[in-house]
Structure 1
Amino acid sequence: MAKIAFGTFQEAYQPDCLRALVVEFIATFLFVFAGVGAAMASDKLNGDPLVGLFFVAMAHTLVVAVMISAGFRISGGHLNPAVTIGLCAGGNFTVVRSLLYWIDQLLASVAACALLNFVTGGLATPIHSLASGVGSLQGVLLEIILTFSLLFTVYATMVDPKKGNLDGLGPLLTGLVVGANIMAGGPFSGASMNPARSFGPAFISGDWTDHWVYWVGPLIGGGLAGFIYENFFIVRSYVQLAGEDTF
């Protein structure tokens, strides 16, 4: 069974970690800017809700695929605390570096939403919140399932050493599952799958309605998928990450 490595706080000062944090910030910033910007544009155009949903889903599909590809070689292109915790739960990322990534991703999201608010002349930043008739438990369960499918795809197409002919297609396939999940869950929970994607708009707008749902659901779903895939579907000799104490 894969072990979760704690790591050391000296990681924060290592050149490779600093480079990774810079790239992760840039990639997450650009992802949130495009994703939230598409939602703002859809609201401004005020057209057919079905067309708007497809528009937002496609924007997320494209920007996720591109930003993962752009950041993959240096930071891994997580863009998402749920992806980071999924990799940590599978023993592929230390706890210390995960916390650094979380801070990085949240700051990038806030910066992207603040800039969007400025360049759009103060246009309202749409938050993720539960639709009418959708309860908190339903929202959490939906976010767990959607995020589980996201991390399952990440592991199958980018982490699994036996990914075969899927090698190189991981970012595109991950973007596609994000878009599909937004089409399926968007009208109900907003289909966040990403605490950072939800945090920036909530912070800038000051509206924290249902916000906890977008931490609990994605983190459970991401962590569960990483743990299950690593321990039940990947066969390899475990190599402990540099550092460190393990749980």
Structure 2
Amino acid sequence: MPISRIAIGSAGETSQPDALRAGLAEFISMLIFVFAGEGAGMAFGKLTDGGATTPSGLVAASLAHAFALIVAVSVGANISGGHVNPAVTFGAFIGGNITLMRAIVYWIAQLLGSVVACLLLKFSTGGLETSAFALSSGVGVWNAVVFEIVMTFGLVYTVYATAVDPKKGNLGTIAPLAIGLIVGANILAGGAFDGASMNPAVSFGPAVVSWTWSNHWVYWLGPFIGAALAAVIYDTIFIGVTTHEQLPTTDY
């Protein structure tokens, strides 16, 4: 079981140069991601006089977040693993792939990156609001929690399959693309209902800058549950020591 490999780590780990470099990489990747994703929504709203909630606005948000995440994961992959998401980091921790101490460094960096990105957006747009995530009319908090669980499960499952699994082989080269695409697809599915966060940091930055905290807990609980489920299921069933490995194609 992956939970048996959970490691707390030592307090000194948080001040090691390698951990600090990884934290800085997460900060920069998150800043890139949120600035482009949130900024695209703000730009679309400005160009369409508030039309960001239209179907075309949803498509624009999906594309912007997918493109930005592909880049953000790629530029951080060789330094921090390119998590760019506290839920992904939590999934890695549950699977025993990162210590709690290092995860804390990542979480702090990710949250700060999101806040700084939103502050930069507010300043550079002349004070436009960085809208916090909110539930649509008719969507209850538990509806949204389930949405976030399922969407984040798909995201973290994709991360495990393309980036974490030691048998991934050449599939690892498309990990950033696959991760970006599943996020873009999930935004098309859930964006009209709860904003389709899948990422507590992405929700945190706009909430801080706009100081809007209504139902904010939904965007933490759902992603963390989804990430934990994906980590446990994929690691236990597909990475475990008894996992079947496909024969080389030359053998048949």
Shorter-normalised TM range: over 0.9
Which residue of structure 2 lines up, in the alignment, with residue 196 of structure 1?
Answer: 201
One-letter amino acid matched to 2:30: T
Q: For 2:30, what is the secondary structure of its paired residue? A: helix
Q: Quick one: higher RCO (CA 8 Å, sep 6+), 1 or 2?
A: 1
Residue 68 (structure 2) pairs with residue 63 (structure 1): yes
Offset from partner CA, 1:130-150 (integer Å, 9 cap, x none): 100000000000000000000
Match for 1:20: what amino acid?
A
Q: CA RMSD in A?
A: 1.2
Distance 1:189 1:98 in 2: 27
> Is 1:169 aligned to residue 171 of structure 2?
no
Offset of 1:233 from its aligned partner?
A: 1.0
Letter in 2 for 1:152: Y
- 1:150 equivalenced with 2:155 (yes/no): yes
> Deviation per CA, 1:82-116, whole angstroms, max 9, x where unpaired?
00000000000101111111111111111110010
Match of 1:9 in 2: 11
Instruction: Using the TM superposition, name which of 171-180 and 223-232 deviates more.
Output: 223-232
Structure 1's consecutive aligned runs of 4 or more residues displaced over 4 angstroms after TM superposition are none
Residue 20 of structure 2 is matched in structure 1 by 18
Paired residue type of 1:27: S
Identical amino acids, percent of aligned pairs:
56
Larger fraction in helix: 2
- Provide the residue aligned with 1:244 in structure 2: none
**Counterpart in the other structure of 2:78:** 73
Match of 1:39 among 38, 41, 44: 41
1:43 Cα deviation from its structure 2 partner: 1.7
One-letter amino acid of the counterpart of residue 184, structure 1: A
Confirm whether residue 141 of structure 1 aligns to residue 146 of structure 2: yes
3-state SS in 2 of match to 1:168:
helix
Q: Is the 8 A contact 1:39 1:126 kept in 2?
A: no
Secondary structure at the counterpart of residue 167 of structure 1: helix
1:167, distance to aligned residue in structure 2 (A):
2.4
- TM-score scaled by length of structure 1: 0.93
Q: Distance in 2 between matches of 1:21 and 1:35?
A: 21
- Size of the alignment, in residue pairs? 237
TM-superposed deviation, 1:22: 1.1
* CA displacement at 1:39 relative to structure 2: 1.3
Match of 2:219 among 214, 218, 233: 214
> Which residue identity is paired with 1:190?
G
**SS of the residue aligned with 1:186?**
helix
- How far apart, CA to CA, are the structure 2 residues paired with 1:99 and 1:12? 8
Q: 1:45 deviation in Å?
A: 2.1
Q: Give the alignment's TM-score, normalised by structure 2.
A: 0.91
Amino acid of the structure 1 residue aligned with 2:94: A
